[in-house]
């Protein structure tokens, strides 16, 4: 199962670099769309040149985020950006439409030939700064079938910046997201962007769903990547790879190269 889902990356223990989009038109502090596109392409190029195995594109700077559906101009803008990234770079590309418009992400990915989406809330019910968000696995899985799409769904469990109202152990969340929610891979994070995952939670999830692909989705850095990859099948890295480790800054190619050198020694 792990090999089948993550085979798109063509390596063991893939490292997925974040492309955090500048504010899209219609968002506070937005700039011209061409500037958003150019910035995204520069970060993507730096990540690929530095050696990452895949990219995840996210409208990270569009806060405050819509809790469920985003308006058409967000979908249009992200579609153009991801189309251009897919044309230029020969690595798997994922889509995350914040806060939780997985339907839009699946549509964008399917049309642009992207490879996977991130579902922040796939099952259950989560209290967040956007309000209460309910998982829509029943809807998104069927929508993917309707489109006859091969896009994979990487689903967060106990998602960051939120508290699961469906109050069960993280191991049960993992089993239910994977078996009942039919997620293709599971993502585990710390409580906030850039904060490390609880290693005991990671170990517990690994034991609870040994056949599921598990990806760490926050707080990855030089000091913990080796330990994390003992239990996880891959990681998503954003904050650490930015200049000075500041999430608002452009990607720093030397940070990318340093991290990838460590990872390649593990393979």
- The single-letter DSSP state of residue 151 is -
Give just the sign of the alpha carbon dihedral 112, 118, 124, 126: negative
Strand partners, 155: 119, 186
Average pLDDT for 144-173? 92
What CA–CA distance (Å, rounded) separates 202 from 224?
Answer: 13
pLDDT for position 91: 97
CB-count burial class (<10 Å; 0-12, 13-18, 19+) for 214? buried
Q: Is the pLDDT of residue 2 over 70?
A: no
More confident residue, 163 or 154: 154
Locate 106 and state its tokens: 């699946």
Kindly report, residue by residue over 6-25, the tens digit of the pLDDT: 999 999 999 999 999 999 99
| Distance of alpha carbon 87 from alpha carbon 84, whole angstroms | 5
| One-character DSSP codes across 11-67 | SSS-EEEEEEPPPPTTSTT---HHHHHHHHHHHHHHHHHHT-SEEEEE-TTSPSPPS
User: Which of 89-93, 131-135, 166-170, 196-200 has the largest mean confidence?
Assistant: 89-93
H helices present in the chain, as ranges: 2-6, 33-50, 72-88, 102-112, 137-146, 170-175, 199-208, 225-231, 253-266
CA distances to 108, 239, 243 from 24, rounded to whole Å, are 16, 20, 22
Average pLDDT score over residue span 61-75 = 94
pLDDT of residue 3: 62
How many angstroms separate the CA atoms of 164 and 126, rounded?
Answer: 4
The structure's pTM equals 0.94
* pLDDT value for 136: 95
Please tell me the predicted confidence (pLDDT) of residue 117.
98
Which domains, ranges and CATH numbers included, belong to the chain? 2-6+15-266 (3.20.20.70)
pLDDT over threshold 50, residue 1: no
Mean pLDDT, residues 124-153:
95
Q: What would you report as the CA-atom Rg of the chain, rounded to the nearest whole angstrom?
A: 17
Mean pLDDT over 197-225 rounds to 95
**pLDDT greater than 90 at residue 267:** no
Region 40-65 average pLDDT: 97
| Residue 71 Cα distances to 77, 216, 235, angstroms | 10, 29, 30
Share of the chain above pLDDT 90, in %: 88
Q: Kindly state the average pLDDT of the residues 145-159.
A: 95
- Would you say residue 99 has pLDDT above 80? yes
Q: Given this model, what pLDDT does residue 167 score?
A: 82
């Amino acid at each position: 199962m792990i090999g089948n889902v993550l085979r798109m990356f063509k390596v063991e223990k893939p490292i997925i670099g974040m492309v955090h989009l500048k504010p899209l038109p219609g968002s506070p502090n937005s700039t011209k769309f061409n500037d958003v596109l150019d910035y995204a392409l520069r970060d993507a190029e730096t990540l690929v040149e530095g050696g990452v195995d895949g990219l995840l594109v996210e409208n990270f700077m569009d806060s405050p985020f819509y809790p469920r559906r985003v308006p058409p101009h967000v979908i249009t803008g992200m579609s153009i950006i991801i189309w251009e990234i897919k044309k230029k770079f020969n690595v798997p590309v994922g889509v995350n439409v914040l806060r939780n418009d997985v339907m839009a992400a699946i549509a964008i990915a399917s049309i642009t030939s992207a490879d996977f989406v991130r579902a922040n809330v796939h099952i259950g019910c989560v209290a967040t700064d956007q309000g209460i968000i309910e998982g829509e696995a029943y809807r998104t899985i069927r929508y993917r079938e309707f489109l006859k799409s091969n896009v994979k769904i990487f689903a967060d469990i106990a998602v960051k910046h939120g508290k699961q109202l469906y109050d069960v152990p993280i191991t049960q969340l993992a089993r239910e997201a994977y078996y009942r929610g039919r997620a293709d891979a599971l993502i585990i994070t710390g409580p906030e962007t850039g904060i490390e995952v609880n290693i005991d939670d990671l170990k517990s999830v690994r034991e609870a769903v040994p056949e599921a692909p598990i990806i760490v989705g926050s707080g990855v850095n030089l000091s913990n990547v080796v330990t994390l990859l003992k239990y996880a099948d891959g990681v998503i890295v954003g904050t650490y790879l930015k200049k000075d480790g500041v999430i608002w800054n452009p990607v720093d190619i030397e940070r990318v190269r340093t991290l990838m050198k460590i990872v390649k020694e593990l393979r």
